[in-house]
Chain A
Amino acid sequence: QVQLQESGPGLVKPSQTLSLTCTVSGGAISSGGDYWIWIRQHPGKGLEWIAYMYYSGTNYYNPSLKSRLTVSVATSKNQFSLKLSSVTAADTAMYYCARGRSGSYSAMDVWGQGTTVTVSS
């Protein structure tokens, strides 16, 4: 059974770049035609869809974050990553990685536990 685990620094200074990694276990990230997705949740708020990566390398970024966002896949490590540049307090959130259900980005059927990121000097 596929499991996901996010990792990254809990604290990032304003204007710096946030880097997060999601490690996939129980299955190969590059097989099965899966979509790998990042979602965030601001404190006490709803959910915001950030980006997806298809196993072949195709990406889609939320236009609201596109200018600051880079996502990538490291197949040899069975990981995918997110980099968000020029962070501000508005980027403080819980960040989740997830898998798209049945080879689609439409629904997320496996989620990591989430990692909290605080942007503060």
Chain B
Amino acid sequence: DIQMTQSPSSLSASVGDRVTITCQASQDINNSLNWYQQKPGKAPKLLIYDASNMEIGVPSRFSGSGFGTDFTFTISSLQPDDIATYYCQQYDNLPPTFGGGTKVDIK
């Protein structure tokens, strides 16, 4: 299975800050990467697919980039509603696998 390594595992930032999360794949996955947001007690929500494409209805402050093995997820201006855990997920090889998650909260 492809291993997905996310960092950091948690972060605390102020409202309005730029937040960056990285995800590294154990092998080349092209652009076969998605990002999800999971709020406490809720199911994950798809935010970004194919590394950089925003799902319909997702605020424009969320973005993704990367190709190959290294990927980045950015919140351009952190909002209180963004408190959640964020996961990357590869689908280049079966089975799809997820990163360990990054818990984001407000400082």
Contacts and interface: CB of A to CB of B under 8 A. Distances in A.
Interface of A: 46-49, 60, 62-64, 96, 98, 101, 105-109, 111-114
A49 B96 CA distance: 6
Give the one of B55, B95, B98 with max A CB within 10 A: B95
B97 interface: yes
A108 to B, nearest CB: 6
A70 to B, nearest CB: 16
What 10 A-B pairs are tightest by C-beta distance, nearest first? A111-B43, A106-B91, A47-B98, A62-B95, A107-B49, A49-B96, A107-B34, A46-B100, A109-B46, A49-B95
Given A46-B87, A47-B89, A111 B95 contact: no
Contact of B49 (A63, A106, A114): A106
Q: State the majority secondary structure of interface residues on B.
A: loop
A46 B99 contact: yes
A64 B55 CA distance: 30
A114 B43 contact: yes
B96 A46 contact: no
A46 B101 contact: yes
A46 B95 CA distance: 15
B96 A106 contact: yes
Give the one of B34, B91, B96, B100 with max A CB within 10 A: B96
B32 interface: yes
Interface in B53-87: 55, 87
B97 A49 contact: yes
Contacts of A60: 94-95
B55 A105 contact: no
Nearest to B4: A46
